[in-house]
């Protein structure tokens, strides 16, 4: 269950759907077939953040123009976009910090 799956669902429905999802085995043979690189994963995550921000923007515009009256959905979309951006910013800061630490190591 992701944060974006909560958009449009009640809290109770989201919690019940969470409890019915199967647990994935991390040692299965499927993990050996995954060949996604770090850059692909990072690019995919950035795309998801951009999509969340676009969705938040369109839902806010729809609410402002009167096309929808679902204020809760608009607020959830805004929070999802905000959390995604904050996480992206924290990952960037950690990567820069690690780069600086490596560059300051004595040779």
Chain segment 37-52, per-residue pLDDT in tens: 989 999 999 999 999 9
Q: Tell the residue number behind the tokens 């809760």, with chain if given.
A: 72
How much is the pTM?
A: 0.62
User: In the predicted model, is pLDDT for residue 86 greater than 70?
Assistant: yes
Q: Are 91 and 46 spatial neighbours (Cβ–Cβ below 8 Å)?
A: no
Give the confidence band of 32 by pLDDT, cuts at 50, 70, 90.
low
Burial string for 52-77 (b: 16+ CB within 10 Å, else e) reads bbebbeebeeebeeeeeeeeebbebb
CB atoms within 10 A of CB 49: 19
Q: Across 3-7, 27-31, 42-46, which has the greatest mean pLDDT?
A: 42-46
């Amino acid at each position: 269950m992701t944060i974006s799956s909560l958009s449009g669902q009640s809290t109770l429905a989201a919690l019940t759907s969470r409890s019915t999802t199967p647990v994935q085995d991390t040692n299965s043979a499927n993990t050996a077939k995954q060949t996604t690189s770090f850059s692909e994963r990072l690019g995919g995550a950035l795309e998801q953040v951009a999509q969340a921000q676009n969705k938040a923007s369109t839902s806010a515009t729809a609410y402002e123009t009167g096309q929808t009256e679902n204020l809760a959905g608009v607020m959830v979309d805004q929070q999802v976009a905000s959390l995604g951006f904050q996480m992206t910013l924290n990952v960037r800061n950690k990567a820069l910090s690690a780069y600086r630490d490596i560059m300051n190591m004595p040779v």
